[in-house]
Structure 1
Amino acid sequence: MTDTDLEFVSLGESGLQTSELQFGTWRFGRETAEGNLEIGEERAYELLDAYADAGGRYIDTADVYGGGDSERWIGNWLAERDREQYTVASKIYWQIREGDPNSKGTNRKSLRHRLDAILDRLDTDYLDVLYLHRWDDETPTRETMKTLNSFVEAGTVHYLGASTARPNAWRVAKANERARAEGWEPFSVLQPRYNLVDREIEGDYLEMARNEGLGVCPWSPLGQGFLTGKYDREEGLTGESRAAESTRFEEAYLTPENFDVHDELDTVAQAVDASPAQVALAWLMHRDGVTAPIVGARTAEQLEENLGAADIDLSQEQVDRLTEAKGGPYADL
Structure 2
Amino acid sequence: MELDTVPLGRTGTQVSELAFGTWRFGREDDTGAIEIEQDHAHRLLDAYDAAGGRFIDTADMYGDGRAETYVGEWLAERDREDYVVASKIYWPTREADPNGRGLGRKHLRRQIDRILDRLGTEYLDLLYIHRWDEATPAREFMRTLNGFVRDGRVNYLGASTLEPNAWKIVKANEIARQESYEPFKVVQPRYNAVNREIEGEFLDMCYEYDLGVIPWSPLAGGFLSGKYTRGESPPVGSRGATDKQFVDSYLTPENFDVLEEVEAVAEEVDASPAQVSLAWLLTHEQVIAPIAGATSIEQLEEDLGAATIDLTRSQFERIATAK
Q: Does 1:325 align with 2:288?
A: no
Counterpart contact for 1:135–1:168, Cα < 8 Å: no
Partner of 1:310, secondary structure, is helix
Which piece of structure 1 moves more, 191-200 or 165-174?
165-174
Q: Distance in 1 between matches of 2:190 and 2:233?
A: 23
Q: Distance in 2 between matches of 1:140 and 1:244?
A: 42
Q: Distance in 1 between matches of 2:233 and 2:318?
A: 25
1:118 aligns with 115
Task: Look up the equivalent residue of 2:70 and give its one-letter code.
Answer: W
Task: Look up the equivalent residue of 1:282 and give its one-letter code.
Answer: A
Q: Distance in 2 between matches of 1:245 and 1:137?
A: 33
2:283 to 266, 283, 286: 286
1:44 to 37, 41, 65: 41
Counterpart contact for 1:278–1:305, Cα < 8 Å: yes
Identity of aligned residues (%): 60
1:247 aligns with 244
1:201 aligns with 198
Let me know the Cα RMSD of the aligned residues: 1.1
1:8 aligns with 5
Using the TM superposition, give the Cα deviation of residue 74 of structure 1 relative to its aligned residue in structure 2, in angstroms. Answer: 0.4
Counterpart contact for 2:215–2:290, Cα < 8 Å: yes
Task: Look up the equivalent residue of 1:286 and give its one-letter code.
Answer: T
| Stretches (4+) displaced over 3 A | none
Task: Look up the equivalent residue of 1:131 and give its one-letter code.
Answer: Y
Deviations 1:125-173 (A, max 9, x none): 0011000001111100011000000000000000000002323211101
1:86 aligns with 83
Q: Distance in 2 between matches of 1:226 and 1:291?
A: 22
TM-aligned CA distance change 1:69 to 1:233, over 3 Å: same
Q: Distance in 2 between matches of 1:243 and 1:42?
A: 29
Counterpart contact for 1:145–1:184, Cα < 8 Å: yes
Using the TM superposition, give the Cα deviation of residue 29 of structure 1 relative to its aligned residue in structure 2, in angstroms. Answer: 0.7
Q: Does 1:276 align with 2:276?
A: no
TM-aligned CA distance change 1:236 to 1:201, over 3 Å: farther
2:214 to 217, 230, 238: 217
Deviations 1:185-212 (A, max 9, x none): 0001100000000000000101101111
Q: Distance in 2 between matches of 1:96 and 1:214?
A: 29
1:331 aligns with none
Using the TM superposition, give the Cα deviation of residue 244 of structure 1 relative to its aligned residue in structure 2, in angstroms. Answer: 6.5
Partner of 2:31, secondary structure, is coil
Using the TM superposition, give the Cα deviation of residue 245 of structure 1 relative to its aligned residue in structure 2, in angstroms. Answer: 2.0
Q: Does 1:28 align with 2:25?
A: yes
2:100 aligns with 103
2:257 to 256, 260, 263: 260
Counterpart contact for 1:29–1:66, Cα < 8 Å: yes
TM-score (norm 2): 0.98
Q: Distance in 2 between matches of 1:274 and 1:149?
A: 44
2:173 aligns with 176
Q: Distance in 1 between matches of 2:130 and 2:56?
A: 15
The size of the alignment, in residue pairs, is 323
TM-score (norm 1): 0.95
Q: Does 1:61 align with 2:83?
A: no
Q: Distance in 2 between matches of 1:254 and 1:138?
A: 36
1:189 aligns with 186
Using the TM superposition, give the Cα deviation of residue 243 of structure 1 relative to its aligned residue in structure 2, in angstroms. Answer: 7.9
Using the TM superposition, give the Cα deviation of residue 242 of structure 1 relative to its aligned residue in structure 2, in angstroms. Answer: 4.9
Task: Look up the equivalent residue of 1:18 and give its one-letter code.
Answer: V
Counterpart contact for 2:132–2:162, Cα < 8 Å: no
2:153 aligns with 156
Q: Distance in 2 between matches of 1:204 and 1:325?
A: 20
Task: Look up the equivalent residue of 1:54 and give its one-letter code.
Answer: A
Partner of 1:27, secondary structure, is coil
Task: Look up the equivalent residue of 1:156 and give its one-letter code.
Answer: R
Consecutive unaligned residues in structure 1, runs of 5 or more: 327-333
